[in-house]
Amino acid sequence: MALRVLGVDPGLTRCGLGVVDVQPNRSASLVAVGVVGSSSELPLSRRLLVISESIDEWLDAHAPDVLAVERVFSQTNLSTVMGVAQASGIVIAAAAKRGLPVAMHTPSEVKAAVTGNGRADKAAVTMMVTRILKLAVAPSPADAADALALAITHAWRSGPGSTSALGELTPARKLWLEAEAKARKNAEKSSRQRR
């Protein structure tokens, strides 16, 4: 009954990939995490091919219900933003080709969701991801932790009340949302009983 989310922090040198299973009661567990990428000395076409082949492998291997990608802004890091945008285009199209819903979240949305602070630094995000997923070792590098944070954020943010932002509702998501609503009701009931 878990929602499986593949989070992607796009980039050419380091593209973070993280898969988590999130239960209706919001508890999340790690399925897979990694970083792919290539040297900036390679031709752009080779570098984009690495991203294209990697995302296809991850989608095949882990069969996520939804893809969550970091929303790229043209305002920041002008020197690398083109490569990031090209990589994100490839990743989004790969998911769309399989009929998967694609969601985008900004870095500050991710920081706010996992740490409670939209301006948290990378160390704080990594620490909270490690804690949320109950990992013995912190995921590294930061791009890997960011991908996991994105995946967690997406599952948490797309709960009841925010589904309209999603646009597309797959049968798996629908079931998950219903189960999450039930879990919430039970939690409220037991908290009332405790009073």
Which residue ranges make up the site for a second copy (CB under 8 A)? 43-46, 48-49, 51-53, 72, 74-75, 78-79, 81-82, 85-90, 92-93, 95-97, 101-102, 104, 167-168
The yes-or-no answer on residue 56 being catalytic is: no
Give the Cα separation of 64 and 129 in Å (integer): 19
Judged by beta carbon, residue 65 or residue 180, the one nearer a second copy is: 65
Query: Do the bridges between strand 3-9 and strand 66-70 make them parallel or antiparallel, or are there none, so unpaired?
Result: parallel
d(C-alpha 125, C-alpha 21), whole Å: 18
Length of the chain: 195
Which parts of the chain are beta strand (E)?
Answer: 3-9, 15-22, 28-36, 66-70, 102-105
Please name the amino acid found at residue 71.
R
Minimum CB separation of residue 153 from a second copy in Å reads: 18
Closest to a second copy by CB, 97 or 182: 97
In the set 21, 65, 70, 180, the catalytic residue is 70
Type of residue found at 140:
S
Confirm whether residue 9 is marked as ligand binding.
yes
CB of 113 to a second copy, least distance (A): 21
To a second copy, the closest distance from the beta carbon of 91 in angstroms equals 9
User: Could you tell me which residues are annotated as the binding site for Mg(2+)?
Assistant: 9, 70, 143
